[in-house]
Structure 1
Amino acid sequence: MELLSIIVPCYNEEKTVEMFMKELQKTLDGFNYEVIFINDGSEDNTLEIIKNLADSNPNVIYISFSRNFGKESAIYAGLINATGSLVGLMDADLQHPPSLLPEMIEAINEGYDVAAAKRVSKKGEPIVNSLGSRFFYRIFNSISSIKLVAGATDYRVMTRQVTDAVLRLNEYNRFSKGLFQWVGFETKWIEYENIQRVAGESTWSLGDLIRYSLKAIVAFTTLPLSLSIVLGFIISALAFIYLLFIIVKYLIYSDPVQGFATTICAILFLGGMQMILIGILGKYLENTYNETKNRPIFLVKETNIDDKRLDKIR
């Protein structure tokens, strides 16, 4: 039976890890699987609980970071260390129901390269987050050559070929949803209703989601840079037309140039636009700066993976 490696990023999930593992064991009873928990610098007892699970279950592997590097880094660490011919990715808060795993595996057996979960509703989520998510997908898909599926989640099962393809994209600034779409391959989308966390609270704030969205846009399209040029030409053209209007008005009607308030508004408007355009350019420079530093995507503090396996994988 093929080995299924399930990657589970964890950050402050002490209230959910044990419940998640129980549900996963029920679902995968009879399957050949391993669970790779990635402790992303949790500040609670998440690591201790995972260690206890590993002591009592040989199928449990854990990797603990030296600090919080973020979910994208945790996903990458899991992909590197997964040895199964099938690789799954899911959250520990049970918002990704383990009951979908058999259907995903069946889809792979039918010939699909990826089986991924897609939420058809966002019941229970704050309306601001829901509206923001819709707005992000519309903006991203309108300016990027990579099209994201609305409601798509990170929850999926992939073949080894797809996993290796994603690992070849070893960039520092990572947006996994975009990377999964970029590599292509045939995907079966499995729809499900939104499920609330079984315990604890989400660590994702609105600010985090906005920063994550900006990171995604910068990573997968340069259109904002082109729009900056177009906007500059439009503003310059309008300014030139307005200048001609003032000259003609003065020559025909001998109307002296007036409008202190108009001048101040124009200066503030142009100053604001310049700051916005510099900010857009700065985001792209930030990505380039982070890539050129060539720092590791994550650092491991401790793990129960033996050195022989680590050497083989890395």
Structure 2
Amino acid sequence: MTIQKNDDASAPVLSVVIPCYNEGENVPLLFGRLMPALHGLGVTVEVICVNDGSSDDTLARLLAVQKSEPSLRIVDLSRNFGKEKALSAGLFHSRGQAVVPMDADLQHPPEVIGEMLAKWREGWDVVFARRDARTGQGMKERAFARAFYWVFDHLSDVRLPREVGDFRLMDRRVIDTINEMPERSRFMKGIFAWVGFNHTEIIYHQGERAAGTSKFSSIKLLRFAFDGLTSFSNFPLRVWGVIGAVISSLAFFYILFRIIRTLVWGIDVPGYESILVSVLFLGGMQLLTLGIIGDYLGRVFDEVKGRPLFIVRRLYEHDGRE
């Protein structure tokens, strides 16, 4: 994938990128709040909605909105590639001098985009939008999020800003840098943090989901968290060398103990239970180690194949171009 920097003087000042997967109910609600907020900014804007293989009427509703909103561009992917790839597609097609990714469910209030734009005009390359609370989440989800941030910060060289999701403003230089990154395992929160640049933040109140339900189950969230960790840390690989050394040391001292005991008290019959426990424990550790190595090896396999991050079936422009 060849990335070309956007030097077009006619490019919009602001691009808003919105991945959409089965968000048909939210489309009219979203644009009912988004467009008035953008029109009040006094700058040229474009809205890029990425239809990530939706099976409902998301695309039809987006096309209906496009008839009255010339700034809306629709990137229709050939299938469901997942939110991280859909977000990458939106960033790739963005042309604005500043870019704001946001969700389609209105948990990210479009009214705060103006505040982020003001910070950007002060010279900041990245403006984080930090939520003041996790609205609509129970104690289990909040505890899981805190645990993930703690583990990620201690095992990775990249620190994720607390309570900051994809909702942020990024300068064109930041977007061009992200688009040039060739990796296919796209943990976007980590990528956003890894590229650096000078940054500041604003505080916002996260709204309730406007309609529909979250597409992330507990299993998907757990897998997403593990993907994020293995994308930015090789600690899960290195730690097994330490564990192996500890187990080998314990086994060595146990062998010495058995030899000394045999020389002093003679040969006895070892217990069957201790042998069984040792075999099962070491076998389980080996299988767990192989599983983690297999996950990293699978990532290498995906990178070597070099398949594109996403496939665009059609790009809908307001002037009829595709």
Query: Which residues in structure 2 correspond to 1:107-122 (within 5 Å)?
Result: 107-122=119-134
The CA distance in 1 between the partners of 2:169 and 2:96, in whole Å, is 11
**Aligned twin of 1:172:** 184
**Aligned twin of 2:13:** 3
Alpha-carbon deviation of 1:80?
Answer: 1.0
- Contact 2:27 2:58 survives alignment (8 Å): yes
SS at match of 2:129: strand
**Aligned twin of 2:46:** 34
**Aligned twin of 2:29:** 19
**Aligned twin of 2:5:** none
Percent of matched pairs sharing the same residue: 39
Alpha-carbon deviation of 1:2?
Answer: 5.4
- Contact 2:127 2:169 survives alignment (8 Å): yes
SS at match of 1:28: helix
- Contact 1:246 1:257 survives alignment (8 Å): no
The CA distance in 2 between the partners of 1:81 and 1:61, in whole Å, is 9
SS at match of 1:290: helix
- Contact 2:12 2:46 survives alignment (8 Å): no
- Contact 2:47 2:72 survives alignment (8 Å): yes
The 1:300–1:307 alpha-carbon spacing in structure 2 relative to 1, beyond 3 Å, is farther
Instruction: Tell whether 2:199 aligns with 1:184.
Output: no
Choose from 123, 129, 134 the match for 2:141.
129
Query: Which residues in structure 2 correspond to 1:251-266 (within 5 Å)?
Result: 251-254=263-266, 256-266=268-278
**Aligned twin of 1:197:** 209
* Structure 2 unmatched runs, 5+: 1-10
RMSD: 1.8
TM-score (normalizing by structure 2): 0.92
Instruction: Tell whether 2:74 aligns with 1:62.
Output: yes
Alpha-carbon deviation of 1:18?
Answer: 1.1
The CA distance in 2 between the partners of 1:283 and 1:120, in whole Å, is 35
The 1:308–1:28 alpha-carbon spacing in structure 2 relative to 1, beyond 3 Å, is closer
**Aligned twin of 1:49:** 61
TM-score (normalizing by structure 1): 0.95
**Aligned twin of 2:7:** none
The CA distance in 1 between the partners of 2:246 and 2:44, in whole Å, is 61
The CA distance in 2 between the partners of 1:23 and 1:131, in whole Å, is 32
* Structure 1 unmatched runs, 5+: none
The 1:2–1:62 alpha-carbon spacing in structure 2 relative to 1, beyond 3 Å, is closer
Q: In the TM superposition, what whole-angstrom CA distance separates every residue of 1:194-215 from its partner, at most 9, and x where no partner exists?
A: 3220111001111111111111
Query: Which residues in structure 2 correspond to 1:296-311 (within 5 Å)?
Result: 296-305=308-317
Amino acid at match of 1:11: Y
Matched residues, number? 310
**Aligned twin of 1:160:** 172
Choose from 226, 236, 242 the match for 1:230.
242
- Contact 1:250 1:257 survives alignment (8 Å): no
Alpha-carbon deviation of 1:309?
Answer: 8.8
Alpha-carbon deviation of 1:128?
Answer: 2.0
Question: Which consecutive aligned stretches of 4+ in structure 1 deviate over 6 angstroms post-superposition?
Answer: 306-310
Choose from 278, 296, 306 the match for 1:284.
296
Instruction: Tell whether 2:253 aligns with 1:241.
Output: yes
- Contact 1:4 1:33 survives alignment (8 Å): yes
Alpha-carbon deviation of 1:193?
Answer: 3.0
The CA distance in 2 between the partners of 1:257 and 1:120, in whole Å, is 64
The CA distance in 2 between the partners of 1:63 and 1:258, in whole Å, is 68
Alpha-carbon deviation of 1:98?
Answer: 0.6
